[in-house]
Structure 1
Amino acid sequence: MIHYKELHHVSLTVSDLVRAKDFYSKILCLSEIPRPDFDFLGAWYGIGQQQLHLIVLPESQTIRQEKYVSSREGHFALRVENYQDTLNWLKKNGVEVLEKPNSKSGFAQIFCADPDGNLIELNVDQKDMALSFTTK
């Protein structure tokens, strides 16, 4: 039997590091962390106790050819503090989103894609979403 402690990191392949870092740093507001001096390009980001690793591999089989936003394809999810603030920020920055505020999952979800089509879910607990509207 395997006993897990936590999810350590998620790795995504990207085709253009400058474009990817612009998205993850400036649009998703993630903080870049030091990365070992590998013999290939990439970037690491800290998210709480977990990490997101970007790996440059333009010929990767995991880079989606169709860049449309979907909630049913492989993605990773980040919990955000405020649904509406996050949605407003993404729209202000021209990011295409798929909104699912009343998802059966119990999470109010916003889906978007990075420039390579990697899908990202940003969510809050629906109970927390209701509170964010009443406190403003």
Structure 2
Amino acid sequence: MTDSAPTQSLQVQAFDHITLVVKDLEASRKFYVDFLGMDHVPRPAFSFEGHWYQIGDQQIHLILEHDQSGAAGQADVEPNTRTHHFAFQVKDSKQAYEQALQQGIPIVSPPKSRPDGAIQTFVNDPDGHIIELCSLG
């Protein structure tokens, strides 16, 4: 029996990107660029279609649904605030809610306070991915 050195954790350095499968790249572009204000950035020449968007130092990668991808969206998930979702920090989530209403963006939950004082609004992107838009108080 030999003693082995303890295993060290990987020490993740940063969050890099989120990848989502979508049915319509143009509808998604309107949501992520026109509504959320992200920048469309170049992507490598993969063998499948997609778009990349910049969020500060991170990116969101969209893959057009195809025969080798997963299914687009979250059709099998009941839209609510306590299921699979990801969050973006915004300046004012109440304003984001009003803008979503004006632009016909599906609302999952209107603005509400979290126990830590942040305000959160939940919306759906064109494929039903649940997205939290949160702001500090």
Q: For the superposition of Structure 1 and Structure 2, which TM-score range results when normalised by the shorter chain?
A: 0.7 to 0.9
One-letter identity of the residue aligned with 2:25: L
1:28-58 CA-to-partner distances (Å, cap 9, x unmatched) read: 2211111111111111111011111111115
State the match for 2:60 in structure 1: 52
8 A Cα contact 2:22 2:65, kept in partner:
yes
User: Which amino acid in 2 is paired with 1:28?
Assistant: L
TM-score with structure 1 setting the length: 0.82
Specify which of 69, 87, 93 is matched with residue 77 of structure 1: 87
Q: Hey, what's the Cα distance between the residues in 2 that align with 1:124 and 1:51?
A: 20
Identity %: 31
Looking at structure 2, the residues matched to 70 and 120 of structure 1 have their Cα atoms a distance apart, in angstroms, of: 10
Q: Which range moves more in the overlay, 111-120 or 21-30?
A: 21-30
Q: Which has the larger radius of gyration?
A: 2
Matched residue, 1:125: 136
Confirm or deny: 8 A CA contact 2:22 2:28 kept in the other structure: yes
State yes or no: 1:40 paired with 2:48: yes
Does residue 28 of structure 1 match 2:36?
A: yes
Task: Tell me, in whole angstroms, the C-alpha distance in 2 between the residues paired with 1:68 and 1:18.
Answer: 25
* 108-117 or 55-64, larger mean C-alpha shift: 55-64
With over 3 angstroms needed to count, the CA separation of the structure-2 counterparts of 1:62 and 1:56, relative to structure 1, is closer
Aligned length: 126
Residue in 1 aligned with 2:98? 88
Contact 1:109–1:123 under 8 Å retained in 2: yes
Unaligned stretches of 5+ residues in structure 1: 127-136
Runs of 4+ in 1 over 6 A off after TM superposition: none
Residue 83 of structure 1 deviates from its aligned partner by 2.2
Name whichever of 25-34 and 110-119 sits farther off. 25-34
Q: Note closer, same or farther for the CA distance 1:70–1:105 as it changes in structure 2 (3 Å cut).
A: farther
Q: Where is the helix percentage greater, Structure 1 or Structure 2?
A: 1
Between the aligned partners of 1:37 and 1:30, the Cα distance in structure 2 is 21
CA RMSD between the two structures? 2.0
